[in-house]
Amino acid sequence: MKLYQTYASPFPSRVRLLLYAKGLEFEVIEPPGFGGSTAPKGNYLAINPIGRVPTLVMDDGRVLPESEVICEFLEDVYPRPALRPSDPWARATMRLLARISDIYLVMAFVPLFDLLATPRAGWDPVVIDAAVGEIAAALGYLEAHVGTEGYAVGQALTAADGALAPMLVLTDEWLPETFGVASPLPRNPRLTAYWRAVQTDPLVARIVGETRDAIAARRRARTAAQTT
């Protein structure tokens, strides 16, 4: 299997969590034109015309984009260890948390990602404040459903943890470091307790560490570009 992806991106990270958990071997390919690079995406668009990461390519050449669909596929084909609860309510909660993250939390970050492509001096505080407000609202939606027993759902790792953990790195670390604003996470006691607890899971810690390292590398690259 090949996974086209970048380490700083939240969507591929949730797929890596499943691949790690299930002990599957895969080759990582980082396509051009991501992470602030203006390089053309080139041949990658022939593999995934959507032009986003991740994309899973099977050994027989079959291509599967979209992180949620990839995770469901991996769960169907490699059911052990299970990262999808068997109880229907727990399973629905897992999907709900991932969906809230994708639709509300990730989308709230988009105006901030867009600012990164522009000089810092021109960053509009109104845009930043509005985005932080949307992020805070999305955290409130997660707060209403996140688990209280150490994981997003119940007492075991599920795909929802792969959706939430990289987004909480962005929320609690990248957002304050990049824009000089307070993290809105502490206003949500359940989510805060979840975030502290889930990082003790070694597989979550692995994708969190990879996300942090990739964000730091991008920050160094951006700083170097601005000072040259």
Ligand X SMILES: N[C@@H](CCC(=O)N[C@@H](CS)C(=O)NCC(=O)O)C(=O)O
Report the interface residues with ligand X, using CB under 6 A: 9-11, 34, 52-54, 66-68
CA angle 79, 23, 145 (to 5 degrees): 55
Minimum distance from residue 4 beta carbon to ligand X (Å):
10
Question: Whose Cβ is closer to ligand X: residue 3's or residue 204's?
Answer: 3
Minimum distance from residue 74 beta carbon to ligand X (Å):
13
CA–CA distance, 180 with 36 (Å, rounded to integer): 20
Minimum distance from residue 34 beta carbon to ligand X (Å):
5
Question: Whose Cβ is closer to ligand X: residue 37's or residue 223's?
Answer: 37
Question: Whose Cβ is closer to ligand X: residue 54's or residue 162's?
Answer: 54
Question: Whose Cβ is closer to ligand X: residue 107's or residue 181's?
Answer: 107
Minimum distance from residue 11 beta carbon to ligand X (Å):
4
Minimum distance from residue 77 beta carbon to ligand X (Å):
18
- Residue in the block written with tokens 């609690």: 172
Q: What are the beta bridge partners of residue 56? A: 3, 64
Give just the sign of the alpha carbon dihedral 144, 147, 150, 153: negative
> 125: Cβ–Cβ under 8 A, 6 or more apart, which residues?
none
Question: Whose Cβ is closer to ligand X: residue 158's or residue 192's?
Answer: 158
CA–CA distance, 221 with 217 (Å, rounded to integer): 6
CA–CA distance, 215 with 62 (Å, rounded to integer): 30
Nearest CA to 56 among 48, 44, 64?
Answer: 64
